[in-house]
Structure 1
Amino acid sequence: MDKMDNTEDKKIRKGSSEKRASIIAAARELFLTDGFDRSSVDAVAAKAGVSKRTVYDYFGEKQNLLVTVVEETSRAVLDMIDQAISDYLWEFEDLEQALIMFCEQFAASANGSSDYSALIRLTTVEAANLPVSFLEKLDSATEEGIIKRFTEFGQAGLLDVPNPEMAAKHFAALTFLLVFNQRTSQNEQIKQIISGGVQVFLRAYGHPNIHTRKNVDTEG
């Protein structure tokens, strides 16, 4: 009897998870194509194949649904950043090359990602419909991994970063954000923007010995 009850619970949870995912996917598509204000809960429910009551039961107000859509979309982008950090900013021979490769990988991942383009569109076009505190939290989340590594690079004597948060903002603005703002897909141009940005960043924040430090892993 207990075994049967557990099985039923799993089915219910799975079904609930699938409904939730369907609602989020439908809302994301409508918010991107029609905009938040012009997308009704009725339309979201119809596209997701659920009742309007179900949408409200899961998310409450429509703004909560928008916040959830942005949160879900941002997770893929945060995963891209974390992966690039893991691949290039833990162990390396040369900090300059490591930073360049980190930016190139993230830029390539983001340029080919519908999640990244959706995140930028939603946070730009629908900014007025998103809580300011939520947007600030999202900005902090995207910078968190870079800030952590820059703090550790400072402790290891690779960077001079009295304010790691500001250093991360400068780094992003000089490198991958500049690539995205230029809206270019030309590999050579991307490489030039990133390498030039990293060089400028290191002139501002680097120590003279950055090319002599090997296999930097400050974890733990």
Structure 2
Amino acid sequence: MTNNMETKILREGSARKRADILAAARNLFLTEGFDRSSVDAVSAQAKVSKRTVYDYFGDKRTLLLAVIDEVGQSLINSIQHAIDHSLTDVKDLEQALIAFCEQIVASTFGSSDYAALIRLVTMEAAHLPESTYDWLDSAPEIAIAERLAEFGRRGQLEIPDPLLAARHFAALTFLLVFNNMGPSRKTEATAVKRTIDEGVRAFLRAYAPRIT
């Protein structure tokens, strides 16, 4: 009984330490930049020893990748939540896709996580492998592609290439909203609504089931 309790406390403590280190590193990388942020500063802000930071992450570059991975995973979880919420048990496909895009724009692009991710990837590109960009791009597309493929199996859409369809869908809808945003990352609600509505309709026209 005692051993199990000790193990549980140790694991919970370790998870908290890791989270504290990542939070400190994220804050410093965003405010000071990667090159000017030291492991000493990270450990001081996280209230752990410098040795603990190295034990968890090995070096500062690995710590940067871990920060980006954590923020990126949070965004992917938001997208998956939007898929589960808006694209399950769909009766009106057009309205469901519109609702999904609106949720993505509201919960993802408007979030501090998204802003942090864009800043980190932009500011620290020289320190990141190309595979970072591949993962950030492909993970949301794969999740969307899986749901579009399901609509294809149900006969609601004709989807010969689900991943390509997901890229077309994103480009016509929420990515177009993002690309049209100014430096403040804000745009008129009516413009967002029109972009999403027209993008979804264009996608549905392109991928409507063929009548034979």
Same fold per TM (> 0.5)? yes
- CA-CA distance at 1:185 after TM superposition: 3.9
Secondary structure of 2:158's counterpart equals coil
- What is the distance in 2 between the residues matched to 1:81 and 1:53? 36
CA gap 1:36/1:206 in 2 versus in 1, 3 angstroms: farther
Q: Could you tell me which of 196, 199, 203 is aligned with 1:197?
A: 199
**Identity, % of aligned positions:** 57
More divergent stretch after superposition (200-209 vs 166-175): 200-209
1:145-200: CA deviations, max 9, x gaps? 10101112222222222221111111111111111222234221111110011112
Q: RCO (CA 8 Å, sep 6+): is it higher in 1 or 2?
A: 1
Q: What's the counterpart of residue 65 of structure 1? A: 63
Gaps of 5+ in 2: none
Q: What's the counterpart of residue 91 of structure 1? A: 89
Asked if the contact 2:158–2:210 (Cα under 8 Å) also holds between the matched residues in 1, the reply is: no
User: What letter matches 1:195 in structure 2?
Assistant: D
Q: What's the counterpart of residue 13 of structure 1? A: 11
TM-score, length basis structure 1: 0.87
Q: What's the counterpart of residue 22 of structure 1? A: 20
User: What letter matches 1:7 in structure 2?
Assistant: M
- What is the distance in 1 between the residues matched to 2:208 and 2:36? 49
TM-score, length basis structure 2: 0.90
- What is the distance in 2 between the residues matched to 1:111 and 1:164? 24
- What is the distance in 2 between the residues matched to 1:67 and 1:154? 36
Q: Could you tell me which of 136, 141, 150 is aligned with 1:138?
A: 136
Give the count of matched residue pairs. Answer: 207
Q: Could you tell me which of 147, 150, 155 is aligned with 2:148?
A: 150
Q: What's the counterpart of residue 165 of structure 2? A: 167
Asked if the contact 2:172–2:199 (Cα under 8 Å) also holds between the matched residues in 1, the reply is: yes
CA gap 1:112/1:133 in 2 versus in 1, 3 angstroms: closer
- Over the aligned positions, Cα root-mean-square deviation in angstroms equals 1.7
- CA-CA distance at 1:208 after TM superposition: 6.1
- What is the distance in 1 between the residues matched to 2:90 and 2:8? 45
